[in-house]
């Protein structure tokens, strides 16, 4: 017996400032699903910087987004490295390839901006995100960071850096 598959009609489009509330809700729910104390929300600055690009995946409402651009960490600011600054998909939509599609959008932006390498910081406890990154060709670098989480009940966030060579990406 065949089980009917529900097909969602989704769109991926460039985010606009009016999307900020929805993007905050997506990031909060996605983070909370990974670790109950982890909270992170996008900043208004992602819409003000012409070197930062955010794309939204939506059906009736936004359920995922990716932000990419120049790296935040100064030691990666070499002109050749771009960063996937955020990649979030709501729990009910995970496992359907939307995260990977958003990641491809972000990587395509970095490639078009002339970057030869992409980096992605992933919390050490985010197993699903690590699997998606590795399946997409990222490799873990011997670089990590720990940040204080001011707006979260999680005191510190330990992240590892993953890298992808974009020279032959497309």
Average the pLDDT over 144-165 and give the result. 80
Phi, psi of 166 (to 5 degrees): -100, 0
Residue 1: inside a domain: no
Q: Which residues contact 12 (CB under 8 A, 6 or more apart)?
A: 55, 56, 57, 58, 101, 102, 105
The pLDDT assigned to 43 comes to 60
Query: Do the domain assignments include residue 6?
Result: no
Q: What is the mean pLDDT of residues 66-92?
A: 92
pLDDT given at position 164: 97
- Counting residues of the chain whose pLDDT is more than 70, the rounded percentage is 81
Asked, for residue 2, whether it belongs to a domain, the answer is: no
Inside any domain, residue 129: yes
Q: By CB neighbour count within 10 A (0-12 exposed, 13-18 middle, 19+ buried), where does 28 fall?
A: middle
CATH number reported for the structural domain that contains residue 105 in this entry = 3.40.630.30
Q: Which tops the pLDDT comparison, 24 or 154?
A: 24
> pLDDT digits over 86-121, tens only?
898 998 999 999 999 999 999 999 999 999 999 999
**Residue 4 forms part of a structural domain:** no
- What integer is the mean pLDDT of 128-155? 84
Does 89 reside within a domain? yes
Tell me the pLDDT of the chain averaged across its residues.
84
Q: Is 18 helix (H, G, I), strand (E, B) or coil?
A: helix
Whether the model clears a pTM of 0.75, i.e. scores above it, the answer is yes
Please tell me the total count of domains within the chain: 1
pLDDT value of position 143: 93
Looking at the DSSP bridge assignments, the partners of residue 58 are 11, 62
Distances (CA, A) of 73 to 82, 107, 119, 130, 142: 11, 18, 10, 20, 15
pLDDT tens-digit map of 32-48: 766 654 555 566 556 66
The label of the residue with tokens 């900020």 reads 20
Residue 139 domain flag: yes
* pLDDT value of position 2: 45
């Amino acid at each position: 017996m065949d089980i009917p598959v529900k097909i969602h009609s989704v769109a991926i489009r460039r985010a606009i400032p009016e999307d900020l509330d929805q993007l905050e809700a997506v990031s909060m729910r996605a983070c909370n699903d990974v670790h109950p104390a982890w909270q992170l929300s996008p900043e208004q600055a992602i819409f003000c910087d012409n070197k930062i690009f955010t794309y939204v995946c939506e059906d009736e409402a936004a359920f995922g987004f990716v932000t990419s651009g120049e790296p935040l960490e100064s030691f990666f600011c070499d002109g050749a490295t771009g960063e996937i600054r955020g990649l979030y998909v709501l729990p009910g939509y995970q496992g359907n390839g939307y995260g990977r599609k958003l990641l491809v959008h972000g990587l395509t932006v970095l490639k078009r901006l002339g970057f030869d390498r992409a980096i992605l910081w992933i919390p050490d406890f985010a197993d699903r995100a690590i699997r998606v990154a590795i399946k997409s060709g990222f490799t873990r670098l011997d670089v990590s960071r720990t940040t204080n989480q001011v707006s979260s009940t999680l005191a510190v966030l330990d992240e590892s850096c993953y890298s992808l060579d974009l020279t032959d990406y497309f």
